[in-house]
Chains A and B, each alone.
Chain A
């Protein structure tokens, strides 16, 4: 158990819909990262937050947004969902940007 929690574990929705994925980092960790993992693309970095502020952006689509709240939990919002958004979404946390990351169990999103 990494200490990072993600909810929900599974999510099934339809194209065009909007969903919110939630992540609680390990106690004491200030950085939160979001990743998308699909079979053909591997693990893709989406975005990083540090202590409530956006720190770095990767290959995050404009339809996706994220935030980190004062209690350090984070949410990833996915809107106007397409079939290609079906993937495993992982959250990870670390003490800071240059430290090892601890990954949550992931949310499996299926868009029908």
Chain B
């Protein structure tokens, strides 16, 4: 069955360092993937979208990579700040427009 795994339930990173979050998928051929940020009790907020024919996308301190050979996406936050603490979700859409979200990684940036 199709499956998406995000690297851990919680990740603690020191302020100023780079946080790297992982999203792996199996039995799946996504057309594109997205990363979202979610704060407790609120709806997810879109961060970045990358298509299958793109290797890397950047936006300010954020970078996402998409490796269809490894079946993996990496999400990086450089110069991390306490305000970056949240849950980060990856999501894939396959060619029949169905969307699968990972369960998310809780990121804590320690001052």
CA distance A57 to B97 in the complex (A): 8
Give the number of chain A interface residues (Cβ < 8 Å): 25
Instruction: Output the least CB separation between B68 and chain A (Å).
Output: 17
Are B49 and A55 neighbours in the complex by a CB distance under 8 Å? no
A42 at the interface (CB under 8 A from B): yes
Closest 5 pairs between A and B when the two form their complex, measured CB to CB: A103-B43, A56-B97, A42-B103, A100-B46, A43-B101
Q: Which residues of A contact B (CB under 8 A)?
A: 2, 4, 33, 35, 42-45, 48, 55-58, 90, 92, 97-106
Chain B residues with CB under 8 A of A42: 89, 101-104
Contact residue among A35, A45, A98 (Cβ-Cβ distance under 8 Å from B98): A45
Are A101 and B101 neighbours in the complex by a CB distance under 8 Å? no
Given contacts A2-B43, A43-B44, A98-B32, contact A33 B103 (CB under 8 A): no
| Contact sample, A vs B, 28 pairs, CB 8 Å cutoff | A2-B45, A42-B89, A42-B101, A42-B102, A42-B103, A42-B104, A43-B101, A45-B99, A48-B97, A56-B97, A58-B98, A90-B43, A92-B44, A97-B93, A98-B31, A100-B34, A100-B46, A101-B34, A101-B44, A102-B46, A103-B36, A103-B44, A103-B45, A104-B43, A105-B42, A105-B43, A106-B41, A106-B43
B100 to A, closest residue via Cβ: A45
Q: How large is the interface on B (under 10, 10 to 19, 20 to 34, 35 or more residues)?
A: 20 to 34
* Residues of chain B from 46 to 101 with CB closer than 8 A to chain A in the complex: 46, 49, 89, 91, 93, 96-101
Given contacts A42-B104, A98-B31, A101-B34, contact A56 B96 (CB under 8 A): yes
Q: Which residues of B contact A (CB under 8 A)?
A: 31-32, 34, 36, 41-46, 49, 89, 91, 93, 96-104
Chain B residues with CB under 8 A of A104: 43
Given contacts A56-B98, A98-B31, contact A43 B45 (CB under 8 A): no
CA distance A43 to B45 in the complex (A): 13
